[in-house]
Amino acid sequence: MPCSGVLVLETQQNSDTTYRYMTVSVLSREGTITVNREKYQLKKGSHFILPNKVNPILVNGCLEWIVSHP
């Protein structure tokens, strides 16, 4: 299934629950993520941590991932 484009993610603090970070695991496909002007290649099996208050997060490509909060 083809997909393309850029997704802009904003991390925010919710008044009910505040997470200090998110853990992300890429389940399939590949793409890039840009954080603080640094671009990282992602593919199936990639794992990373995103601290809260890192904005914006740009996602380019076609990724299927799972996000967990502590």
Q: Which residue has the higher pLDDT, 50 or 2?
A: 50
**Inter-residue contact 28 to 5 (CB < 8 Å):** no
* pLDDT, tens only, 4-15: 555 656 555 444
Condensed to tens digits (0 to 9), the pLDDT of residues 8-61 reads: 565 554 445 567 888 999 999 888 999 888 999 999 999 999 888 777 788 888
Distance CA 43, CA 30 (A): 4
Residue 61 burial (CB count, 10 A): 17
